[in-house]
Amino acid sequence: MTHLQVQICLESVTAKLKLSRAEVIEILLKNVNPNLKSILKDLRVEYIGYIGNFYDIIKVIGEGTYGSVLKVQDQETKKLYALKLLSNQAKTTSFLEEAAILADLSNYKECNRYIVCVYDIFNAYYKNKIRTFVKMELIEGHELFYLLNLMYKKNISLPYDLIRLILYSVLKALSYIHGRGVAHRDIKPENIMFNSKYIKLIDFGFGCTNKKIRSTCSQILGTQMYAAPEIFRTYSSFTNNYVKLDYIKFDMWALGVMILAFINVEYFEDRYEEDFNKHIMETKGSFMKYIPHIRDKIDAPDIKYILENLLQFNPTKRISAKEALKLINKDKIGTVKELNEFYNSCHKISKLSD
């Protein structure tokens, strides 16, 4: 049977038995052959019908490991959204469950300020197949990675007030998700977007919850350049897994590395990895003590102190996002408008010199 045939039968059975879709599927999963099980598991997510009856697809705006991202317009409200079209790989790597967690995270007043909002997860008929979609807030702007790249090419430094702005915004996002037991696991400039209104943490494809820190979160999925040292100290060749890791602490190290990159992008690109590898097995103290030529030039006591505590080799000594927020000099935080002006000026310099 095809997805569509099973869907039609499911709707009929649900109506006759007067049970919910989830209840019917759970009953059927215990009594059907393996071929039908995979289809039924897909259909646990609500089916809305033909995608074109609800959304006008404007264009493809992204491609990634877990599928493509479409820019769409809701036909009823005329609002723009991003629809992540999940690949089969995404559905076999528990992405649906993580997307559901993100949807729960979106139910709070600050969603539109610090993290990408996820509004719904559904199945729809698209290109002759029933496909799974994640409906998300459409974020149009620039990745911080582009800014970092411009700074590196033109040897430009980011002012401390704008470093504080980035640090504050990401800490607000992490404070919220960590407080609800969710770790991002891939903090890096590519996963932080900014425009004229906000700075937002995006792409929770590698996210996990406290309940999974000893199960699906046992495998490393982040970016090696930002990986915490305990990743390399706790690898078990016997189980082929990374064990006893607190990925909330992992996020804090990655944030420290990212801020270090904005403080001295030349060092980050040319020397950081070499220095990190030299001290990868350290278990005490801060990484900052091994780079005094960088540390001693940081003319911002609050940022220096936060970095010292984010880049602790012992994850239990690493400060939390909530603690770090208290340490920022809030009287000297720049604005998103100033960040955009800085980006535009870097872009102009780049064009003039190319």
116 — pLDDT class (breaks 50, 70, 90): confident
- pLDDT value at position 234? 64
Can you give the pLDDT at residue 140? 87
Report pLDDT digits (tens) over 319-330. Answer: 999 999 999 999
CA separation for the pair 143, 145 (Å, rounded): 5
**H or E, element range at 192:** strand 192-194
pLDDT tens-place string over residues 55-72 = 999 999 877 666 788 999
Sign of CA dihedral 275, 277, 282, 287: positive
| % of the chain residues with pLDDT over 70 | 69
- By percentage, how much of the chain surpasses pLDDT 90? 43
pLDDT value at position 202? 86
Band (pLDDT 50/70/90 cuts) for residue 136 is confident
Average pLDDT, the chain: 81
Q: Going by C-beta distance under 8 Å and a sequence separation of 6 or more, which residues neighbour residue 146?
A: 343
CA atoms of 137 and 149, how far apart (whole Å): 26
- DSSP type of residue 320: P
* CA–CA dist 187, 249 (Å, integer): 12
The superfamily (CATH) of domain 142-350 is: Transferase(Phosphotransferase) domain 1 (1.10.510.10)
Looking at residues 59-87, what average pLDDT do you find?
A: 87
- Is 172's pLDDT higher than 90? yes
Q: The whole model's pTM is what?
A: 0.79
The one-letter code for the residue type at 100 is: A
pLDDT attached to residue 156? 87
- The pLDDT value recorded for residue 227 is 87
Q: What token pair was written down for 29?
A: 């999963």
pLDDT band at 314 (very low <50, low <70, confident <90, very high): very high
pLDDT at 47 exceeding the cut of 70 = no
Helices (H) and strands (E) in the chain, counts: 16, 13
Choice among 66-70, 145-149, 238-242 with the minimum mean pLDDT: 238-242
CA dist list (Å): 112 to 80, 143, 175, 201: 14, 17, 15, 11
Architecture of domain 49-137: 2-Layer Sandwich (3.30)
Q: Going by DSSP bridges, is the β-strand pair 47-50/118-126 parallel, antiparallel, or unpaired? A: parallel
- Domain range summary for the chain, segments of one domain joined by +: 3-44, 49-137, 142-350
Q: For residues 288-313, give the mean pLDDT.
A: 96
Other beta carbons within 10 Å of 326: 11
Which pLDDT tens digit goes with each residue over 258-278? 999 999 999 998 899 999 989
Q: What is the pLDDT of residue 92?
A: 45
Structure tokens at 74: 């809701």
One-letter amino acid for residue 334 of the chain: G
